[in-house]
Structure 1
Amino acid sequence: RDFGVFFPILHIILLSSIEVAGYLAAWFAFDMHWTYMHWLVMALMLVVLLVQALLTRPFHAMPQIVPLKGIDWMGALLWCVLWLQVAWLLNYGDWLDWWHSSDFRLVMGTMLITLAVCLQRMMHHPKPYIEPAMWTYHNVVPVILLIGVVEALFSCEHVLEMVYYEEVMHYADHTYEALNRWSLPGIVAGCLFSIGWLKLMRWNVYKLIALALVAFCIYAGGFYVLVDSNISIEQLRIPILWRGFSYAVLCISFMWCLHAIMSFEHFFQALSVFNVLHMFVGGLVGAALHARGMKYYVADGFARCSGYVDSVRLSARAVDFPQMMNGIVEGFLAQSVKILFGWTLIAGLFFAALMLLWDIPMVRHQVKHIPAWPVVGMRVLRGVQRQRRLKRLRHLRRSLKN
């Protein structure tokens, strides 16, 4: 139960396995056939079953087996349906042009109905699948929202990087996965750094999250500077290494926050919400925003360039029109990727500064006591009027002396 060690070691295994699995899938598809990856997964699962059957024995820590009674299975099913509807909306929204599609509006309406039923069951069922008390812990809602924001920021790995690799640089999957292996040293370094920070030094987790966001800004800033159609593939290794470091530290930090702020009774409920945002909802929100941004900036680039392309200029010299258009499209895609990496960098800097400010005790304890904006405006107005009266009084005293 020493989570300062368990969480980092767990994420070394999890994140490294994810990266290795991606490389193995690309390697099988490149050198053999893509179905070999499925055979490998089935073989590994059989090994697990054999180990369980041959090397373990049935043991129950409790005197009698506890049946799966008292679990709100209907609530669990409703939450699964809700998350599937959310995933469908975010995944196909850009493809269906959002609210212009009747299918999108239909699923959105049913999603709102499902959400209302889930909330009603959570508030009135004696043993709900996700209890309302889970949301009452101090800082649990800001932590969960920050998890979703961070996952949305990291979606640039799956949208912007893939557009750049496939459409601009024309890398094959094998080349991309070979390049992506440079995130493994960053993952291991981030996990070991988290052990030192949380277990050995026992420092504040707010600063650790801020440092991880700064590392993410280095990654986003590196791609913002390097994105071009003429760079060497080796130049992308350092930003990818920082991406692995940042992602590992953030995953560990968020799980540590949930463990620190709530009891064991509700920890796994919060962990389920964390994994929903961590695994697909946060990433789909970011992917939808980045896809919308790509569509906007590419169209904006064509609109700005169309005024410089006409039949007179094209007929003045012999050009390969398809090749020219291919180069123009690649340039617009690279420019759009660079712009969106810039916006992602700004967002990362904002949240890093927010976490550093939140770590200041005066800000953290007094932020709830900041008055409303009308009150602030009235106080400023009274201060200005007071300064004017003092100025008139000083002027009157000078005139009396004279």
Structure 2
Amino acid sequence: MMAIGVYKTGNSIIRTRQLLMYHDGVPRRVRVWLILIFGFLYQYAGSINLSSMNQMVGEISFLNEDVQMAGYCMLAGITVCFPVMYRLKFAMYTRQLFFVSGIGLMFCTAITMSIAIPWVVCGASFIAGFFKMLGMFGCTSNFRLCVTPSRNYAIFFPVIYFMVVGGTYLSGLTTAYLTYYGNWRLMNLFVILLLMIHVAIVYFMMKPDHRPGPYMSLKGIDLIGFILWCGFIISGMWIFCYGEHYEWWRGNQVWLGTLICCLFFAGAWCRSRFHERPYLSLHIFSYTAVWKIIFWLFVASILQSAPRLLQSIYVNSILGYDSLNVISLNYPILYGVLLGAILAFYTKVKWCWNTKQYLVLSFALLTSYIVAMYFLIDGNTNKEAFFIPLVAVGISEVMIGSISNVYLSQSVPFSYFFFGLSAIGYSRCGIGNAAGAALVQRLYNWAVVKNSMSASENIDGTVLPFDMPSWSETMAVVSRQSVMMTLKECYGYLILVGIVMILLIIMSTYKTTVTRLIPKMSAIRRWMSNPRVEDPADSVIRKKSD
């Protein structure tokens, strides 16, 4: 298979690379760096950060599930906004788009730091996720031709995921340090300050009347469908977030949540089925590639729960790390994120790997982390031993995210591409993400009860199998050993999941019939005026076999 090469660029692309939304006095190199910095800034914003969960739970009497649900709501806001991104872009001036997203994020961040009502915080987080994606889309749609003049998706998406994943982990580091030396609200204030600087730069350096194309009204957007799909994803995430707290379907709350989720899904499906221009077209689910991506992203969410959940239990309960030592484990992941972006570029563009080879490497790296942790579980493991496994986590996270979008872009027409991003987002950021974490949490809770009973069944107050000065210290040792046994058992099950997934990838086929390029903005404008055309002009160039 030949890689997508460097293609000739016309004057329209050269003009687009100049980022004409800036005033003429702004140097061209500064324009590019500013828009890249804005992209990183939007990864800091989002109204709430899970790194400050302990302080939030202790100070404002939130449940852990309340903070997690707020984080999930932010991801839901990111997921549901894709179908209307270009409509919003053409409805506003470029400067106006950044004003709306920046000021909206400031208000949402201020709400989450000042109101201690869970449903209000979740609602503000959902809106913040929408504004966050709107601002990020404003950045990526403007610098895409600066990143890849050849309009190659395989170059574009590794850069995007380097910004998204890297910015997310940097945000976690910043939150942890500000929380440790101050208060969790300091991060909110810091984000508001950064957003104020961002809005000021946009105000003084960008033209007030620049628009990438003719004005396009927002009239005709299916708002009812939007509300129904939002209700479905939020209620679905609520089930998996609060399921363990309410003892799953043994409690009435989860049954009620399931009923509401099913009603929202039925309403959204019927609305999309019979509405002339639905918010989320059901035709996207007729593509086999979409189901493949949804499946491997769901499996990835299960495997990625190991560094997020099991590792957190291990370093806190067994090794006794404080918050700074725990968050310092983000540094090797950041190195892995950088290496992952480079490796994603070389494997797909330079070395001409096909999708199957790429996926096998990605899941092999993620599984190798779990294998390494299985053998590292001990009461005296040094922190340095986690370095290489966590680098593998960072590499795999960028590569899996990149190949999902690249494979989607090559498998569906551009007219359904943003529907596809929203559809796979239900697995990557929405219900699939929450379900994967809930499955691993449930597995851990089941195994820890079983192992605790097994480890303590022959111990009583008169006969101790080892020399301990007190009964309480004896039970502390038993509890510690049962947790380590449980972690090993959970890692073992996840290793099996990873191996099975790699075998399924090897046995599957991932063929695409055409090579699609990132469309020019002028072609997108013409395409939006004629929605019956599946791909903008000059974006499909040749046949290929993957």
Which range, TM-score by smaller chain? 0.7 to 0.9
1:147 corresponds to which residue? 297
SS of equivalent residue, structure 2 residue 304 = helix
Taking a change above 3 Å as real, the CA distance of residues 353 and 237 of structure 1, as seen in their structure-2 partners, is same
Q: Does 1:297 align with 2:454?
A: no
Taking a change above 3 Å as real, the CA distance of residues 325 and 77 of structure 1, as seen in their structure-2 partners, is same
Taking a change above 3 Å as real, the CA distance of residues 68 and 318 of structure 1, as seen in their structure-2 partners, is closer
Taking a change above 3 Å as real, the CA distance of residues 355 and 318 of structure 1, as seen in their structure-2 partners, is closer
Structure 1: stretches of 5+ with no match in the other structure: 365-402
1:395 corresponds to which residue? none
C-alpha separation between the residues in 1 aligned to 2:467 and 2:367?
A: 45
2:212 corresponds to which residue? 61
C-alpha separation between the residues in 2 aligned to 1:357 and 1:99?
A: 36
1:327 corresponds to which residue? 477
- Tell me the C-alpha RMSD between the 2 structures: 1.9
Q: Superposed, which structure 2 residues align to 1:160-309 within 5 Å?
A: 160-309=310-459
Q: Deviations over 1:48-96 (max 9, x none)?
A: 2112111111212333x11101111110111111111111100111111
Q: Does 1:85 align with 2:239?
A: no
Structure 1 contact 86–111 (Cα < 8 Å) conserved? yes
Residue identity opposite 2:210 in structure 1? F
Residue identity opposite 1:168 in structure 2? I
C-alpha separation between the residues in 2 aligned to 1:291 and 1:112?
A: 24
Structure 1 contact 185–244 (Cα < 8 Å) conserved? yes
Q: Which protein is richer in helix relative to its size?
A: 1
Q: CA deviation at 1:316?
A: 10
Aligned length: 361
Q: CA deviation at 1:101?
A: 0.4
SS of equivalent residue, structure 1 residue 66 = coil
Q: Deviations over 1:118-164 (max 9, x none)?
A: 11111101111111221122422122222122112212222111111
* From 110, 114, 120, the counterpart of 2:264: 114
Structure 1 contact 26–177 (Cα < 8 Å) conserved? yes
Structure 1 contact 148–281 (Cα < 8 Å) conserved? no
2:460 corresponds to which residue? 310
TM-score (normalised: structure 2): 0.64
SS of equivalent residue, structure 1 residue 235 = helix
- Highest Rg: 1 or 2? 1
SS of equivalent residue, structure 2 residue 462 = helix
Taking a change above 3 Å as real, the CA distance of residues 318 and 325 of structure 1, as seen in their structure-2 partners, is closer
TM-score (normalised: structure 1): 0.86
1:396 corresponds to which residue? none
C-alpha separation between the residues in 1 aligned to 2:364 and 2:213?
A: 47
Residue identity opposite 1:45 in structure 2? L
Q: Deviations over 1:169-204 (max 9, x none)?
A: 121221111122111111111111111122223320
Taking a change above 3 Å as real, the CA distance of residues 227 and 266 of structure 1, as seen in their structure-2 partners, is same
Structure 1 contact 27–174 (Cα < 8 Å) conserved? yes
Structure 1 contact 156–286 (Cα < 8 Å) conserved? no
Q: Does 1:52 align with 2:52?
A: no
Residue identity opposite 2:366 in structure 1? F
Taking a change above 3 Å as real, the CA distance of residues 203 and 141 of structure 1, as seen in their structure-2 partners, is same
C-alpha separation between the residues in 2 aligned to 1:107 and 1:31?
A: 39
Residue identity opposite 1:214 in structure 2? A
Residue identity opposite 1:254 in structure 2? S
C-alpha separation between the residues in 2 aligned to 1:310 and 1:255?
A: 57
Percentage of pairs with the same residue: 22
Q: CA deviation at 1:237?
A: 1.1
1:397 corresponds to which residue? none
